[in-house]
Chain A
Amino acid sequence: MFLTLVTFLPLFGALFLVFLPRENAGVIKQTALAVAVADFLLSLLLWTNFDITTHKMQFELNIPWIEAWGINYHIGLDGISLLLYVMTTFLTMICVIASWDITKHIREYMIAMLVLSTGMLGVFIALDLFMFYVFWEFQLIPMYIIVGVWGGPRRIYASIKFFLFTAVGSLLMLVAILWIYFHIQETTGVATADILYITEHLSAPLGTQKWLWMAFFLAFAIKVPMFPFHTWLPDAHVEAPTAGSVILAGVLLKMGTYGFLRFNLPFFPQASYEFVPMIAWLSIIGIIYGALVAMVQEDLKKLVAYSSVSHLGFVMLGIFALNPYGIQGALIQNINHGISTGALFLLVGVIYDRRHTRLISEFGGLAKIMPRYTVCFMIAALSSIGLPGMNGFVGEFLVLLGIFQVNGLWAAFATSGVILAACYILWMFQRVMFLELKNPENMKLKDMNTREMITVVPLIILIFWIGLYPKPFMKTFDASVTHLVSKVNPDNFRPQREHHDNDHKDKQNNKHGEHARLITPTEMASLNQQLQMPANIKE
């Protein structure tokens, strides 16, 4: 019940805002902020009450919704969704503060923001496919409105593109959901769309699994977005207002990766395994392509948007490493990306508010007049590159570790993405912050004010916290990841495969044979010995 309350609190807040007089902007903003802060604090309470030792769903509630169809209002959180859930409430709060200066239809804006928050939270807690779909589609509407009404010059184009892209993908997922629903009904005799039940009981031939997998894949790949489904993202990011971009990067994209972890992997483990190479190559293309395109952008926001494509490639790669390192890395990288890209969008928003342009060429030498801004920007930028000591490093390192165990070549390609990230970020940073302060319009720029600091500083704290001491975050999803990996581990399918294709067996064993094992102390000792040997000879 508590989880329901936390999820729907923003919606009630929005309903309350409807009745406030439109002229009273101050009260409207304060109310929205109060709701967002309260929701964040309540979600922290969820975190503190969360039992990290189990992979089971917690704060569960299961009551009938549409009895004739066996559809329930079934909600719960596990290690995979908890952090995303808390991040959603957290970023909503940040976004409300970041939108303080909006003057155009502020009441409607805050209503849309709060409704959006409930929609996103609902996606992460839904444990019934029907309910999940309802929230998944529902959050499109407020986001569409936010981009379309408060966005930039090409906002209408961007918003409708965003909407249609997502809708097409998710509608095909709806067909797959329906198919699963009737399949479960046929095979087990239970009419249900319960995700946990389906995870346990879904058994379809590999051919069918692949089709269903593709349907879910399309919905989530568009949302993530994976190459080549990413074209809506730069438009939406560039046109969205600052807070919209933060939410988009911080939460909406994570719904895609969350979908892979919640549906594609556990529902169709065998199909997932079959599709690993495809995903891996698409992710690698995304990583490198995103980075290269980011490098040539002239618009700051577009640069950050393309860097998202690149970063999300890492997350996808981690998920489809199908081993603990990869998935843990993907999950923490999910959070990292939300934090560091969110911070970058906020910071880009700061100078956009002052100069009404985001062209890199318009700036230069900002370090001299906006020192606070420069420091914040530098931290966010370095975290985005993945500098050790900051959050990005932890995630990327784990992902690369995970994927290296699967295929060294993929890891090598992916690593090049880290280097390219350093190129485009540092180059951009140099052109904006250093160089000469030539443009007279930049001379009188004011440094960040308190409100802007309030939005960015919490993110910076998190950047260092996760970078230096990620354990509190990592351990929330340990149990869930272990459980998930035990289900999707490629080893599960090999005996099955032996029946039809013995020839492939050996190859596969060679490829995956020695992964997912930590080095043992004895091996370590013998390695040390070997290393010391040449030294002895020299002596």
Chain B
Amino acid sequence: MEPILAPESIDLIALAPVLVLSVFAMMVLVVDLFGGRNKTLLVFISLVGLLMTAISAFAKNPIPAYSFNDSYIVDHLSLFFICIFTISSALAILLSVEYNEREGIRAGEYYALILFCTVGMILLASSTDMIMIFLGIEIVSICLYVLAGIRRDDLRSNEAALKYFMLGAFATGFLLYGMTLVYGSTGSTNLFKIAEVVQNPAAQSNPLLLMGLVLLIIGFGFKVASVPFHMWAPDVYQGAPTPVTAFMAVGPKAAAFAAFFRVFAETFPELAPSWEILLSTVAVLSMFFGNLGAIMQTNIKRMLAFSSISHAGYILMAVIAKNSLGSSSLLFYMLTYTFMTFGIFGIIIILGRKGEENLEMKNYSGLAYKHPVLALSMTIFLLSLGGLPPFAGFIAKFYIFSAAIQEGLITLVVIAVLNSAISFYYYLKVIIFMYMKEPEAEFNISLTPLTLFVVFIGVITTVSLGIFPGSIIALASH
């Protein structure tokens, strides 16, 4: 009998980013144990760890390379995603430092959890095996459950954590069941092998396989917060600490989309006629519910939660397009979305007060005349999220739409652009408060340097990627 895992199939260099980051995460835990109350060192270690991870990701050459019996892959997609993950985690940590001080979150494990979560994300984006995908998703989810509830004495935070945990566990069940059915009907958990099996027309019409796909859509759909599996998102986004919300909206979501793309667009393209209609429905529903839901909100975090649901709808179009433009547009979209989201949440943190106060839209009234730069930055982020040129969000949307049009999905794109128009309404609503209303109360804000730095990076990238996207597009479209 041949060994299940031959030693020569383990390629540790390919695995370097996961290993490096895990080591740094454990280091954070250990240092926290002995380091006393000063958390600066933890932040420093975490950031260095993320930097090392990003560098070590490029250690493997040539690519694509595989490890663990082809269940782990290093390719352009995963490398680009690792960059997105490390950037988003680094920005989340930068946002957290001053926020945690204000809110009195002393937990050192906070940083370790973000790092472990990033490990899970890297695994998720690099896995070509169902088991590995499941492991990745679980690592990510468990870290997020804890992070969402890290403000232990806050009711909303607890609610967020509990809700996320219960629904998340439920969705994981679906995912696992779906994987089982796929395994049962194809005889393998490896995506390459599955892809080979489904070449066979007989396998394509296997009802068990199709059932498995449906369950997979439910499982992934939950992780990326798409309608009708989105119910957790608004509450969790609102209740979780703001930096965690920003982190959740970007990193884990990007990771889930990476896996989504690998499973559906790369493994089951032959079955597209079966899942395309289902995913398109999910995408369209996400856009509509996300946008219509966002219109009603007065709390800005909640509004962004709904808007992120609608963004999940747009991004799903990249999966549905399943072409090379689809994968590169997914990368570009997630990258720009990272910067916009962290930028906007950075401003929310600056304007917020202790105890997650001051998050209503009306609290932003007249901001433009007290703090014009902040208001302008916020405007840039909002317009970019809405997809207005010359900001990065426009290029990202253009990219995804072009992927879909190339695939002939014109109806879907028309629905998506109409939704963009709806989304302008609520993004503009915030601008109305900032520019067209008089201030209601004094702005009592603390311009903390690290948070401002994140906002600054957000503005710079959102504008520059909007005007000169050429080099990043060239990178993404490898």
A156 CB–B CB distance under 8 Å: yes
The reply to whether A67 and B435 contact each other, CB–CB distance below 8 Å, is no
A160 CA to B424 CA, complexed, in Å? 9
B435 cross-chain contacts in A, Cβ below 8 A: 145, 148-149
Within 8 A of B (CB), among A51-81: 64-69
Residue of B389, B401, B421, B469 near A178 (CB, 8 A) is B401
Residue of A64, A140, A172 near B417 (CB, 8 A) is A172
The reply to whether A141 and B388 contact each other, CB–CB distance below 8 Å, is yes
* A120-162 Cβ-contact flags toward B at 8 Å (1 or 0): 0000000000100111011011001100110000011001100
Given A67-B474, A134-B390, A163-B428: A175 touches B410 (CB 8 Å cut-off): yes
Residue of B388, B398, B402, B421 near A182 (CB, 8 A) is B402
A68 cross-chain contacts in B, Cβ below 8 A: 470, 473-474, 477
The reply to whether B421 and A164 contact each other, CB–CB distance below 8 Å, is yes
A133 cross-chain contacts in B, Cβ below 8 A: 389
Within 8 A of B (CB), among A18-67: 64-67
A426 CB–B CB distance under 8 Å: no
Give, as a whole number of angstroms, the nearest-CB distance from A163 to chain B.
6
B394 CB–A CB distance under 8 Å: yes
The reply to whether B470 and A171 contact each other, CB–CB distance below 8 Å, is no
Within 8 A of A (CB), among B362-410: 368-369, 372, 383, 388-390, 394, 398, 401-402, 405-406, 410
Within 8 A of A (CB), among B411-454: 413-414, 417-418, 420-421, 424-425, 428, 431-432, 435-436
Give, as a whole number of angstroms, the nearest-CB distance from A455 to chain B.
26
A135 CA to B435 CA, complexed, in Å? 23
Is the contact region of chain B dominated by helix, strand, or loop, or is it mixed?
A: helix
A67 CA to B436 CA, complexed, in Å? 40
Give, as a whole number of angstroms, the nearest-CB distance from B477 to chain A.
5
Given A68-B474, A172-B414: A167 touches B424 (CB 8 Å cut-off): yes
A413 CB–B CB distance under 8 Å: no
Give, as a whole number of angstroms, the nearest-CB distance from A267 to chain B.
17
Give, as a whole number of angstroms, the nearest-CB distance from A120 to chain B.
14
The reply to whether B413 and A175 contact each other, CB–CB distance below 8 Å, is yes
Given A149-B435, A182-B405: A171 touches B390 (CB 8 Å cut-off): no
A423 CB–B CB distance under 8 Å: no
A260 CB–B CB distance under 8 Å: no
Give, as a whole number of angstroms, the nearest-CB distance from B310 to chain A.
14
A160 CA to B423 CA, complexed, in Å? 12
B372 cross-chain contacts in A, Cβ below 8 A: 108
Q: Name the residue in A66, A159, A163, A164 with the highest tally of chain B Cβ atoms < 10 Å from its Cβ.
A: A66
Given A68-B474, A69-B473, A182-B406: A140 touches B425 (CB 8 Å cut-off): no
By beta carbon, the residue of chain A nearest B399 is A69
The reply to whether B389 and A134 contact each other, CB–CB distance below 8 Å, is yes
A182 cross-chain contacts in B, Cβ below 8 A: 402, 405-406
Within 8 A of B (CB), among A177-208: 178-179, 181-182
A174 CB–B CB distance under 8 Å: yes
A133 CA to B390 CA, complexed, in Å? 10
By beta carbon, the residue of chain B nearest A186 is B406
The reply to whether A171 and B418 contact each other, CB–CB distance below 8 Å, is yes
Give, as a whole number of angstroms, the nearest-CB distance from A293 to chain B.
27
Given A67-B470, A67-B474, A179-B410: A160 touches B421 (CB 8 Å cut-off): no
The reply to whether B425 and A171 contact each other, CB–CB distance below 8 Å, is no
* B245-266 Cβ-contact flags toward A at 8 Å (1 or 0): 0000000000000000000000
By beta carbon, the residue of chain B nearest A130 is B398
A134 CA to B369 CA, complexed, in Å? 28
Give, as a whole number of angstroms, the nearest-CB distance from B471 to chain A.
9
A5 CB–B CB distance under 8 Å: no
A65 cross-chain contacts in B, Cβ below 8 A: 470
A368 CB–B CB distance under 8 Å: no
Give, as a whole number of angstroms, the nearest-CB distance from B439 to chain A.
13
A168 CB–B CB distance under 8 Å: yes
The reply to whether B401 and A175 contact each other, CB–CB distance below 8 Å, is yes
A108 CA to B373 CA, complexed, in Å? 12
A134 cross-chain contacts in B, Cβ below 8 A: 389-390, 394
Residue of A105, A140, A178 near B402 (CB, 8 A) is A178
B410 cross-chain contacts in A, Cβ below 8 A: 175, 179
Given A134-B390, A138-B390, A174-B398: A160 touches B432 (CB 8 Å cut-off): yes
A149 cross-chain contacts in B, Cβ below 8 A: 435-436
By beta carbon, the residue of chain A nearest B476 is A68
By beta carbon, the residue of chain A nearest B470 is A66
Given A68-B470, A164-B421, A175-B417: A148 touches B432 (CB 8 Å cut-off): yes
A108 cross-chain contacts in B, Cβ below 8 A: 368, 372
The reply to whether B428 and A144 contact each other, CB–CB distance below 8 Å, is yes
A290 CA to B431 CA, complexed, in Å? 33
Given A178-B413, A182-B406: A156 touches B436 (CB 8 Å cut-off): yes
A130 cross-chain contacts in B, Cβ below 8 A: 398
The reply to whether A171 and B417 contact each other, CB–CB distance below 8 Å, is yes
A137 cross-chain contacts in B, Cβ below 8 A: 388-389, 394
Residue of A64, A155, A178, A179 near B436 (CB, 8 A) is A155
Given A149-B435, A156-B436: A168 touches B413 (CB 8 Å cut-off): no
B421 cross-chain contacts in A, Cβ below 8 A: 164, 167-168, 171
Given A149-B435, A174-B398, A175-B413: A164 touches B405 (CB 8 Å cut-off): no
Q: Name the residue in B368, B410, B413, B436 with the highest tally of chain A Cβ atoms < 10 Å from its Cβ.
A: B436
Residue of B424, B431, B469 near A164 (CB, 8 A) is B424
Residue of B369, B388, B473 near A140 (CB, 8 A) is B388
The reply to whether B401 and A174 contact each other, CB–CB distance below 8 Å, is yes
By beta carbon, the residue of chain B nearest A215 is B414
A435 CA to B394 CA, complexed, in Å? 56
A81 CA to B192 CA, complexed, in Å? 56
By beta carbon, the residue of chain B nearest A172 is B417
Residue of B369, B389, B428, B431 near A105 (CB, 8 A) is B369
A531 CA to B431 CA, complexed, in Å? 70
A202 CA to B368 CA, complexed, in Å? 46
A179 cross-chain contacts in B, Cβ below 8 A: 405, 410
A168 CA to B405 CA, complexed, in Å? 18
Give, as a whole number of angstroms, the nearest-CB distance from B418 to chain A.
7
A175 CA to B432 CA, complexed, in Å? 28
Give, as a whole number of angstroms, the nearest-CB distance from A342 to chain B.
25
The reply to whether A160 and B425 contact each other, CB–CB distance below 8 Å, is yes
Given A149-B436, A160-B425: A175 touches B477 (CB 8 Å cut-off): no
Give, as a whole number of angstroms, the nearest-CB distance from B403 to chain A.
10
Residue of A66, A163, A178 near B424 (CB, 8 A) is A163
B394 cross-chain contacts in A, Cβ below 8 A: 134, 137
Q: List 23 A-B contacts (CB under 8 A).
A: A64-B470, A65-B470, A68-B477, A69-B473, A134-B389, A137-B389, A138-B389, A144-B428, A148-B431, A148-B435, A149-B436, A160-B425, A163-B424, A163-B428, A167-B424, A171-B417, A171-B420, A172-B417, A175-B405, A178-B401, A179-B410, A181-B402, A182-B406
Residues of B within 8 A of A (CB): 368-369, 372, 383, 388-390, 394, 398, 401-402, 405-406, 410, 413-414, 417-418, 420-421, 424-425, 428, 431-432, 435-436, 469-470, 473-474, 477
Extra A-B contacts (18), CB below 8 Å, given A171-B421, A172-B414, A175-B414: A66-B470, A68-B474, A134-B389, A134-B390, A134-B394, A138-B390, A148-B431, A148-B432, A149-B436, A167-B424, A168-B418, A175-B405, A175-B417, A178-B402, A178-B413, A179-B405, A181-B405, A182-B402
